Amino acid sequence: MLGSRQNKNQPDLAKENATLERRPRMSEPDKDKTGNKPPKLAETLFLSGLCLVCGIFPLLIGLGVISGNVKAGPAGRVLAVVAGLAFIFAACMIFVRDRAGAKNNEEIPANAPRALRVGESILSVVLVALFACISSVIAFGPFFSADMLTDMARQMGTFGAAIFRILSGIFALVFWYVVFYLIRDKVRKYRAA
């Protein structure tokens, strides 16, 4: 009787080992994560469609197809066109990466079609170049003409407008560096393959 009570209080090693075998170890990746699978077609179409819709309106306003309240002149229209193109290229990037089988936060698989891999490389460079263009137009472009400076100084103050342009110039230089680095990296990658 005393021995049976001790058995009830002692853990069953067979059950404990079986439980440990079913749990994934910390060093092993969890293969059942939903975030580690390529997105479904419906998710891809929704996200790329949302980016496309967000990009169409600034693009059409910048091109003058839709009458917008753009008083910034030609520089404001250029910014609207480039911002619209950034959203449109982001939509294309989402679609290409998801259809090529890229999982979340991972590269496109090596067995994906070469056209999709090259397309993703081109789209990534173009997308960063569009952000570089936006920053360049704000920092160095004609966006701050004489008639615009009064509005800018009224909204941000003279010092704030100068800081905004300086920060945009720094971002523009960083973005252009990234563009040239991506081009060099992609060319080396495809030469090696």
Give domain status of residue 19, yes or no.
no
Cα angle value 174/55/113 (rounded, 5°): 75
What confidence score (pLDDT) does residue 28 get? 46
26 inside domain: no
Asked if 66 and 60 count as a contact pair (C-beta separation under 8 A), the reply is yes
Tell me whether residue 11 is in a domain: no
Q: Which of 138, 37, 162, 4 is nearest to 79 (CA)?
A: 138
16-61 pLDDT, tens digit per residue, is 555 555 554 444 444 545 556 777 888 888 989 999 999 999 899 8
Q: What is the pLDDT of residue 101?
A: 84
Asked whether 100 and 108 are in contact (CB, 8 A), the reply is yes
* Residues 166-182 pLDDT 10s: 898 999 999 999 999 99
Inside any domain, residue 47? yes
Q: If you average pLDDT over residues 10-16, what whole number do you get? A: 60
- Cβ partners under 8 Å of residue 36, min gap 6: 29, 30, 103, 104
**What range defines the domain where residue 172 resides?**
37-192
Amino acid identity at 161: A
Residue 164 lies in a domain: yes
Of 17 and 125, the one with more pLDDT: 125
Instruction: Give a yes or no: residue 28 inside a domain.
Output: no
The answer to whether residue 156 is domain-embedded is yes
- Residue 12 in any domain: the answer is no
Q: What is the pLDDT of residues 83-111, one digit of tens each?
A: 999 999 999 998 998 888 887 777 888 88
Count structural domains, the chain: 1
Per-residue pLDDT at 174: 96
Residue 9 in tokens: 């209080």
Confidence (pTM): 0.68
